[in-house]
Structure 1
Amino acid sequence: MDAYTENPRTNVLSIVSLVTSILGLAVVPIILGHISLAQIRRTGEQGRVMAIIGLVLGYLTLLGYLIVIGIAVAVFVSRGMSGS
């Protein structure tokens, strides 16, 4: 019997998803997070929590960007209509 048992590898895409979400990217961590979760489910690798955190941060960042864009559009439209 071997005393050394190998730990499952950590999925690289889950790490990249987490890092890119911390960097403030929105679409990249969402795509990579979904791909890594599918790979983790299929291969049994570790990294599920990192992938989920990357997904959550990616979706929150995307929501933030959409809110900022919506506010900017509303400001520009209201200034254009008021003639300022």
Structure 2
Amino acid sequence: MSVQPWGEPGSGNPPGKWPAGDRQPAPAAASQAVMRAGHADRDRTIDVLKAAFAEGRLSAQEYEQRHEAVAASQTYGQLAALVADLPSGPMAVPPVAVQPIPATFLQPPPPAPRPVNVLAVTSLALGVFGFSLPAVITGHIARSQIRRRDMNGDWAAVAGLVVGYAGTALWTLMIMLGTVAAVAGAH
């Protein structure tokens, strides 16, 4: 009978002998080594064996022997002994040097949205609610700020000015007609 690299009864190795690499469990792990293993634990161990076989770390004979031993294993320690000399996860791969992308191939970032001028919106609101003179004043201030600060909202300032000037013209016309009527009624 060939000597197997794990310590199980009848393997030719003394009990408790761990495979090459001498990965013996720590004292806390030793207490876990005697715990009973379940089907999911055996499946995970078989997955490690399959990966090792696919990577060429195990021969077909070694894979078959260990696969049969997994089925007969009852504790975590027995399962751990079967895969102790195999890596249990992906190996670390040295990072590949990544060439930076030339600036000519990069898209420029989207432009930041320009803020809307608050006085422009205020001018429009004042004009709509009938406050003509304040709408005209805030509209002119807003247009000045919009040009200097590269802001949005020129449409609101212009609309506020139009409505404000129209309201001012209406109020002026009404005052003039009222004055004419008062003067004509006094004579």
Q: Distance in 2 between matches of 1:3 and 1:39?
A: 26
Cα offsets for 1:28-76 (capped at 9, x unmatched): 0111001000100011110001000100110010000000001111111
**Corresponding residue of 1:71:** 177
How far is the alpha carbon of 1:2 from its aligned partner?
Answer: 8.1
- Looking at secondary structure, tell me which structure has more helix per residue: 1
**Corresponding residue of 2:165:** 59
Structure 2 gap ranges (5+): 1-106
Q: Distance in 2 between matches of 1:71 and 1:37?
A: 33
Determine whether 1:17 maps to 2:117.
no
Q: Distance in 2 between matches of 1:71 and 1:5?
A: 53
Alignment length, in residue pairs? 81
Structure 1 gap ranges (5+): none
TM-score in terms of structure 1 length:
0.89
TM-score in terms of structure 2 length:
0.41
Q: Distance in 2 between matches of 1:37 and 1:45?
A: 9
Q: Distance in 1 between matches of 2:131 and 2:180?
A: 24
Structure of greater Rg: 2
**Structure 2 residue identity aligned to 1:57:** V
Quote the RMSD (CA, aligned, Å): 1.5
Q: Distance in 1 between matches of 2:184 and 2:110?
A: 68
Q: Which one has more relative contact order, counting CA pairs under 8 Å at least 6 apart?
A: 1
Which secondary structure state, in structure 1, belongs to the residue aligned with residue 130 of structure 2? coil
Q: Distance in 1 between matches of 2:177 and 2:159?
A: 27
**Corresponding residue of 2:146:** 40
